Amino acid sequence: MTDALGQHYLDAAGGAITVGIGHGDPAVAAAMAAQASTLDWVHASAFTTDSVETYAAAIAALVPMDLARVFLVSGGSEAMESALKMARAYHLARGEPERSVIIARGSSYHGNTRGALDVSGRESLRRPYEPWLGQTVRVPGVNEYRCPNPTHPEGCAAFHAAQLEEAILDTGAETVAAFVAETIGGAASGVAVPPDGYWELITEVCRRHGILVVADEVMTGFGRTGEWFASDHFALRPDLLVAAKGASSGYWPLGLAIASGPVHDVIVGGGGLVHGFTFSHHPIGARVGLAVLDRIKELRLIDRARTQGGKLLQGVSAALSQHPNVGDVRGIGLLLCVELVQDRASRRPFPRSTLVTERVMARAKELGLLLYPSTGNVDGLNGDYLLLGPPLTILDDEIDLIVDRFSSALTVLA
C-alpha cells in the first residue's frame, strides 16, 4: 500500500484481519460494477435477487452446517445481532419463551452494537457503556498461555466444559438460549486456539441442555486459519454461524448470519424472524461475496493460508522468541499473535500506562509494516497483543520482510 505522502507499507494485518484475497483485485471490481449496472438494489421485503440466491447457495455448500440458510447483512456486528435474534426466535417458535439468556466467554469480541457488545468480554470496549450492558452470563475465556487449570494442558477441555455446565445450571438451563464464542479466538484473546477436545465437549454440554451453539467466525472464516472455517479444524457443526471480514475481503461491507436448516425451519414454522435492515441482502454485496469465493478457489488460498502461515509462524518464532519481552508467539494459518510481556518468567504484562502496543505499532508503521493491535485483555486493563493477518496471497519474500520489520520495531522496547 502507498499513502498520500508516498510512503509504502506492507499490510501484514489485512486492515483489521479483513483482506484475504489481496488488495485491488480487478475481478472483484468488475463483478461489483456489473452488478451495480444490472440491478443496484431492491428491498428484501419485496424481492430476492439472482445474486443473493446464487451466493447463499454457494455459502450453504461450504459451511459446516446441514442445509444452511443465509441472512446477508452489512458487517460482523449486524451479523451477530441477527444470530442472537435467530436464537431467540428459535426458542420462541419451540414454545420456550423463557429461554433468553446468552452465555459467552471472557476475552472475547463479537461486535460493537449494543447487543453484540454485551456478548463481548472485552472490558476496554465495554467500560463507557456498562450502564447499558450486563445481560450476558460470562464464562472464563480460553487462553492456553495463561491457563488457570491445575491439570493444564490435558484436562483443559473438560475444565472449560465443566465451567460452562456450572454456569448453565446456576443460571437455570431452561432460561439459556445460546452459547456464543469465537471458534478460534481473535483480537481479544490474542488468537487463542482452544485445547484438544474443547469443541466436542462444549457442544455436548450445550446440546444436552437444549442450548444453541453460535460460532463467531467473523475473523476466522473464509480461509484465514487454513480451512474454509475454523470450525472445520474441530469438526464443529454450529447451529448458527456468523461471518464477515474475509467474506468480502473488504471490498464491500458484508456480514453473514447463517442458520442450520433445522434451526431455520423451526423459526419459519413458528413465529418467524422479526428482524431486518434496509441494506440486508444487498445484491452488490452478494455479487462481491461470490467473486471473492471464486478468487479464494482460483488462487487456492486455503492451502496458501496453511503453507504461508506455517512459514510466517516459523519465521516470527525464530526471530522473536528469544526477545526478553516476547512472551508467546502463537497462531494458526495466517492468523498469528505476538504477546508482549514485561517479564517472561512470570508472564507479567506491561503496565498499560507504558503504551507498549501503541509504540511498537507506530514504529512498525514508520518502518513500513502494518500490524493489528489489541490491548487490555490479560486482566481488563493490561496486556499487549500484536496480531499478524496478512492477505492470504502473501509471498515468501514478503514474509521475510514482515519478520525483519517486526524485529526492528521491537527495538523501541529496549
Number of H helices, E strands in the chain: 13, 13
DSSP β-ladder status, 372-375 and 384-388: antiparallel
Among 14, 22, 111, 115, binds ligand PLP (CB under 6 A): 111
The per-residue DSSP string of 309-369 comes to HHHHHHHHHHHHTTSTTEEEEEEETTEEEEEE-SBTTTTBPPPGGG-HHHHHHHHHHHTTE
x/- contact string, 3-22, with ligand PLP (CB under 6 A)?
-------------x------
178 makes contact with ligand PLP (CB under 6 A): no
DSSP H/E element including 258: strand 255-259
Shortest distance, position 107 Cβ to ligand PLP, whole Å: 12
216 makes contact with ligand PLP (CB under 6 A): yes
- The residue range among 74-82, 121-129, 313-321, 382-390 that interacts with ligand PLP, by the rule CB under 6 A, is 74-82
Shortest distance, position 119 Cβ to ligand PLP, whole Å: 9
DSSP β-ladder status, 69-73 and 255-259: antiparallel
Among 14, 22, 64, 75, binds ligand PLP (CB under 6 A): 75
Do the beta carbons of residue 187 and residue 15 sit within 8 Å? Answer: no
Shortest distance, position 17 Cβ to ligand PLP, whole Å: 7
Shortest distance, position 63 Cβ to ligand PLP, whole Å: 16
125 makes contact with ligand PLP (CB under 6 A): no
Shortest distance, position 351 Cβ to ligand PLP, whole Å: 26
219 makes contact with ligand PLP (CB under 6 A): yes
Round to whole Å and give the CA distance between 126 and 137.
Answer: 15
309 makes contact with ligand PLP (CB under 6 A): no
- The residue range among 41-49, 53-61, 71-79, 280-288 that interacts with ligand PLP, by the rule CB under 6 A, is 71-79
Between 350 and 372, CB nearer to ligand PLP: 372
218 makes contact with ligand PLP (CB under 6 A): yes
Round to whole Å and give the CA distance between 166 and 127.
Answer: 26
- Interacting residues with ligand PLP between 79 and 98 (CB under 6 A): 80
Round to whole Å and give the CA distance between 65 and 231.
Answer: 10
- Interacting residues with ligand PLP between 234 and 263 (CB under 6 A): 244
Among 20, 22, 186, 333, binds ligand PLP (CB under 6 A): 186
Count the Cβ atoms, other than its own, within 10 Å of residue 162.
Answer: 14
**CA atoms within 13 A of residue 228's CA, in its CB half-sphere:** 16
Q: Quick one: CA dihedral 99, 143, 224, 76, positive or negative?
A: positive
- The residue range among 54-62, 109-117, 146-154, 330-338 that interacts with ligand PLP, by the rule CB under 6 A, is 109-117
385 makes contact with ligand PLP (CB under 6 A): no
Q: What's the distance, Cα to Cα, between the start and end of the chain in Å?
A: 29
Q: What is the CA radius of gyration of the chain?
A: 21
Residues that bind ligand PLP (CB under 6 A): 16, 75-77, 80, 109-111, 182, 186-187, 216, 218-219, 244
